[in-house]
């Protein structure tokens, strides 16, 4: 038993250091050291192992349990970026925002039209919406056309600007800023679709054969690392729009990045995550794999108060669930 406990202690310490290294994504860019970003992908597994081992020490009546409980407080915020419970806010919202990766409308454009029209959102941001698809949402006007991302609004659109233009030889990312007047005040809405990893299920599904599985893992890593570095470049253009904005900002879209990643920390800087402020349950928004993956977000300036946040798992209009949030605007 002593040998088993020693092994578990070594494993526990190792998991703690991996989790702590993941926090360095707030400071270390992928072009400098991309491996920290890989740890953010494994966060649900790492934190689950850490919690189970902590419970083991508690039930074993070991004093080290208190040490690991205390150290575990470092990961409270990283946890609530995945799973959260916020008390209900009894205020009347001024604004409802919906974002969704529409997967080109291949799950049925009529279903998307009917669903989004029924949600009565003020602002709708779509990614992978398919430039050849025709969307008609009740009461919403379409911003100037874009091939991969699109904004629809109940309110007057003042101006739109593309922040990232895709280059087929290099990237498939898009981002736009759309300035919209709401109740006499202008707000900047930034719609984001960062570089996709372009994985297919058979590329990541292990088959139980050591050599084949090992090669699959190597291929996955080879695809992840360059994409992380591309995200770093793409974020810099988006950050300029946020930092130089004369208006309050709402940033939403498909980041193709999980919480606690470099992308998450650096897009969130100066903003607030509506899920952390007002979400309940799991933030997982991508359902095509049997693994918790949250890559769709709604962030806002700190003078825009999130009241509710919802990942709508009642519909499957895409491989992403629709995500929506309501806000109280500053008077």
State the chain's mean pLDDT as an integer.
90
**DSSP H helical ranges for 101-209:** 109-119, 201-204
Q: How many residues does the chain have?
A: 331
SS (H, E, C) 247-274: CCEEEEEECCCCCCCHHHHHHHCCEEEH
Cα 120 to Cα 98: distance, rounded to the nearest angstrom: 9
CATH of 84-328, one of 3.40.50.720, 3.60.10.10, 3.20.20.70, 3.40.228.10: 3.60.10.10
pLDDT band at residue 181 using 50, 70 and 90 as cut-offs: very high
pLDDT at 166: 65
Per-residue pLDDT, averaged over 279-304, amounts to: 92
SS (H, E, C) 188-224: EEEEEECCCCCCCHHHHCCCCCHHHHHHHHHHHHHHH
Instruction: Reply yes or no on whether the pLDDT at 146 is more than 80.
Output: no
Instruction: Reply yes or no on whether the pLDDT at 259 is more than 80.
Output: yes
Instruction: Reply yes or no on whether the pLDDT at 206 is more than 60.
Output: no
Q: In this structure, how many other beta carbons lie within 10 angstroms of the beta carbon of residue 138?
A: 12
Instruction: Reply yes or no on whether the pLDDT at 118 is more than 70.
Output: yes
pLDDT at 323: 98
Instruction: Reply yes or no on whether the pLDDT at 277 is more than 90.
Output: yes
Per-residue pLDDT, averaged over 219-248, amounts to: 90
pLDDT at 330: 81
Instruction: Reply yes or no on whether the pLDDT at 205 is more than 90.
Output: no
pLDDT at 88: 87
pLDDT band at residue 5 using 50, 70 and 90 as cut-offs: confident
What does DSSP assign to residue 73?
A: G
Instruction: Reply yes or no on whether the pLDDT at 213 is more than 80.
Output: no
pLDDT digits (tens, 9 = 90+) for 71-117: 999 999 999 999 999 988 889 999 999 999 999 888 889 999 999 99
Q: Which residue has the higher pLDDT, 130 or 312?
A: 312
pTM, full prediction: 0.92
Strand (E) or helix (H) holding 83: strand 83-85
pLDDT digits (tens, 9 = 90+) for 9-48: 999 999 999 999 999 999 999 999 999 999 999 999 999 9
Sheet with 141-142, side-by-side order of all strands: 141-142, 149-153, 123-127, 95-101, 323-328, 305-311
């Amino acid at each position: 038993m002593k040998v088993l406990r020693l092994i578990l202690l070594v494993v526990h310490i190792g998991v703690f250091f991996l989790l702590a290294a993941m926090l360095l994504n707030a400071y270390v860019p992928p072009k400098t050291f991309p491996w920290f970003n890989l740890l953010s992908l494994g966060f649900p597994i790492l934190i689950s192992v850490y919690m189970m081992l902590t419970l083991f020490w508690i039930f074993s009546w070991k004093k080290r349990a208190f040490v690991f409980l205390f150290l575990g407080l470092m990961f409270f915020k990283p946890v609530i970026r995945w799973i959260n419970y916020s008390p209900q806010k009894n205020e009347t919202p001024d604004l409802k925002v919906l974002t969704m990766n529409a997967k080109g409308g291949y799950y049925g454009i009529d279903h998307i039209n009917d669903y989004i029209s029924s949600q009565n959102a003020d602002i709708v941001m779509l990614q992978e919406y398919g430039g050849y698809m025709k969307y008609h949402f009740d009461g919403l006007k379409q911003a100037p056309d874009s091939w991969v991302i699109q904004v629809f609004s109940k309110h007057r659109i003042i101006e739109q600007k593309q922040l990232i233009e895709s280059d087929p030889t290099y990237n498939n990312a898009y981002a736009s800023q759309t300035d919209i007047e709401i109740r006499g005040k202008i707000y900047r809405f930034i719609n984001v679709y960062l570089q996709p990893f372009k994985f297919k299920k058979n590329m990541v599904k292990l088959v139980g054969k050591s050599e084949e599985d090992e090669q699959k893992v190597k291929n996955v890593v080879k695809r992840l690392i360059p994409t992380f570095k591309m995200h770093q470049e793409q974020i810099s253009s988006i950050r300029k729009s946020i930092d130089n904005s004369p208006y309050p900002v709402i940033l939403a879209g498909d980041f193709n990045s999980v919480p606690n990643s470099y992308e998450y920390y650096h897009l969130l800087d100066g903003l607030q995550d509506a899920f952390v402020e007002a979400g309940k349950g799991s933030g997982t928004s991508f359902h095509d794999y049997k693994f918790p993956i949250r890559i769709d977000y709604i962030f806002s300036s700190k003078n825009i108060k999130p009241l509710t946040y919802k990942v709508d798992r009642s519909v499957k209009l895409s491989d992403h669930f629709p995500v929506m949030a309501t806000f109280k605007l500053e008077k």
